[in-house]
Amino acid sequence: MSGVRVAGVGLTAFGASPERTGRDLFAEAGCDALADAGVDRDDVEALLYGNFMGELAEHQGHQGPLMAEAVGIDAPATRFEAACASSGVAVREGVKRVRNGESDVLVVGGTERMTNLGTAGATEALAIAADDLWEVRAGMTFPGAYALMAQAYFAEYGGTREDLAAIAVKNHEHALNNEKAQYQRAIDVETVIDAPMVSEPLGLYDSCPISDGAAAVVLVSDEFAAEHDLDASVAITGTGQGGDLMALHDREYLARSPAADEAAEEAYADAGVTPADVDVAEVHDCFTIAEVLALESLGLCEVGEGVTAAADGRTTKDGEMPVNLSGGLKAKGHPVGATGASQICELAMLLRGDHPNSDAVADADTGLAHNAGGTVASAVVHVLEVMES
């Protein structure tokens, strides 16, 4: 079984780019990833591509071949859809293909174009990741769904709006030096608390923005990296995926995310590491409460303690376990089809030392990516480690 190296990464800026098409965005990310890897397009054997709402945002399905053409790749291309975990699932498939010897070189990534829909249109489009029959038709949107999860968490384990606000403050602070981030400005707890309420207890600054953007990674086998003398020191050594019931009312727990528990357990076992080995993490913080649930599912905090991790300084840039040094979905942005791949990009740069926040984790050799779909009905976790080139 071959090891899997991250040979190159490419990211567009995340934010509002309503004038750009999805293919334009992915062409930038994909071409940058290939240039970063130093890999010829003729060596690429397939494109694995994540996208969620292309039919709604651009009236465009069958996006795989379209995006391969945009990047100049003459190879089979497949689209993966798992709501906000779409490109995380694509990365997982890429890891499996390289490991089993099916492929030596893959381009894996994703794109989402959202801002052209406007706030109401994007909110409606995102809602189709919930149960249409029992949730969407009753008026459920994801701010409301995650607010229910936050209320359940507070009732079960405690916590305050100020605790959640500290997460938003931390992630905005981390995004200050990230030129790809949508929001590069500092906020404070008072600003978060005083902002308009979206769905109690979640306010405007507890919520990630609507974003356009693309991300791509070039995955190669150990053998290809060695034969072509590639500078590919970061490997994906663990991968895991979990699932849960779609509708919140069908679940046993609202204050836990079993799908992420399963994905993390599988990824850790696959890599042969434990939560104690993790030096830095990128987690799916579509809302501040989502970061809390992620930390606990990943074993980075005990159950009931994740809510105070940011306020206590444990997950800040200078803390014992820096989380979302990119700014996370909260400040970096969340073009949903691109998010899972973008987390791999950010971690690879952090671990190889060319990220704006690499100084905060200069001695790090193990990173963890957590990507969730919907109200965590889908979850994908990857372990990245620094290896010898």
Residue 385, φ and ψ in degrees, nearest 5: -135, 150
Q: What angle do CA 358, 360, 365 make, to 5 degrees?
A: 65
Tokens of 107: 């381009």
Which residue in the block uniquely carries the two structure tokens 């809510």?
Answer: 307
| Token pair for 196 | 């308009």
84 is catalytic: yes
Q: Please, which residues bridge with residue 243 across strands? A: 378
E strand spans, 32-147: 46-50, 77-80, 105-112
Residue 88 phi/psi, 5-degree rounding, is -65, -40
Long-range (24+ apart) CB contacts under 8 A made by 39-44 are 39/7, 39/8, 39/105, 39/218, 39/220, 39/228, 39/230, 41/71, 41/72, 41/73, 41/74, 42/74, 43/104, 43/105, 43/224, 44/73, 44/75, 44/105, 44/106, 44/107, 44/218
- From 172, 174, 284, 334, active-site residue: 334
Catalytic pick from 31, 84, 208, 301? 84
The C-alpha torsion from 287 through 57 and 29 to 263, rounded to 10°, is: 40
CA dist 280 and 361 (Å) reads 7
Coil, strand or helix at 53 = coil
Q: Which residue has the tokens 């600003």?
A: 191
d(CA 363, CA 366): 10
- Cα separation, 277 vs 385, in Å, equals 10
Active site residue 249: no
Count of C-beta atoms within a 10 Å radius of residue 319: 15
Which residue, among 159, 137, 25, 170, has the nearest Cα to 87 in the 3D structure? Answer: 25
- Give the CA-trace dihedral at 278, 280, 284, 286, to 10 degrees: 140
Token reading at 131: 């149960």
Q: Are 347 and 367 in contact (CB under 8 A)?
A: yes
Hey, which residues are catalytic here? 84, 334
